[in-house]
Amino acid sequence: MLVLLWVALTVAFATETDVFQTAPPEGWVDLAGIDGVVLDVRYHTSDNFTGAPLPGYGAAGAWLRATPAQALERVQRRLAAQGKALKVYDAYRPLRGTLAMVAWAERTGNVALLDQGYIARRSGHNRGHTVDLSIVDATTGVELGMGTPWDTLTSASHTRAATGEALANRLLLKEVMEAEGWKPYWKEWWHFTFPAEGDPPARDVPYGCSEPAEGKWTAPADWSRPGWIPPASPPPAPCAAG
């Protein structure tokens, strides 16, 4: 029953993505198309450290540039041979999403998270070659114990700051990612960057068709000031035909 429910939720997620998600930039890859990879795009929801959906995530998408996506697919094949799979929390991040994180840190008195390297003012995520992920059991979809949840922004998330099974699972993720050319970030066990080809620009293409297009979005007034409350997200709108 658990397996059937997981499959049903996966199908429902894929359907939502097809209806509400804009197309990735030319030459980029939608990770939903990689066989076995599970998406859990928390920035599309309020279940993330800011407590609200981030701008740019009007649809629960996950894209990467082609070369990193191909490397990630190779990682997935390595894990599939062990009965495991990748679970992606975040991949390409629209620049407006990163700016929203910075605004959250400033208005909530968490600027130290910027200074300590847990929240980036500009991120490899914006350039399409960085990913946040974990490992799940391929049959049940249950995540391996990693010692902390994803996006725990404390020293407990440092890759080596775990023991026993949690440490072994973190090191397994590090091992399979490094085997395909990914570089880990030692402060966050889930965070990996693929060496960029050239100097790719930061992008602000939103995932949701109903969101302002790249170059059309502007930050809300006063969103860095204490007391500012994110407005409710508008209901997603299906993409225009054609």
Residues 6+ apart with CB under 8 A from 172: 135, 144
Please state, as a whole number, how many other Cβ atoms lie within 10 Å of the Cβ of residue 144: 17
Say what the pLDDT of residue 172 is.
98
For 136-157, how does the pLDDT look when each residue is reduced to its tens digit (9 = 90+)? Answer: 999 999 999 999 999 999 999 9
Over 70: is that where the pLDDT of 7 sits? no
Q: What is the DSSP letter of 114?
A: H
CATH 3.40.50.970 fits 2-193, yes or no: no
Q: Which two tokens stand for residue 7?
A: 């499959």
Average pLDDT over the chain reads: 92
Mean pLDDT of the 88-103 span: 98
**For 122, left (φ over 0), alpha (ψ -120 to 50), or beta?**
beta
Mean pLDDT of the 3-31 span: 66
d(CA 148, CA 134): 11
Q: Per-domain residue ranges for the chain?
A: 2-193
**Which of the following is catalytic: 73, 175, 178, 188?**
188
Mean pLDDT of the 168-187 span: 98
Say what the pLDDT of residue 15 is.
42
Q: Is 188 a catalytic residue?
A: yes
Contact 118, 76 (CB under 8 A): no
- In the chain, what percentage of residues exceed pLDDT 70? 92
Say what the pLDDT of residue 129 is.
97
Q: What are phi and psi of 172, to 5 degrees?
A: -65, -45
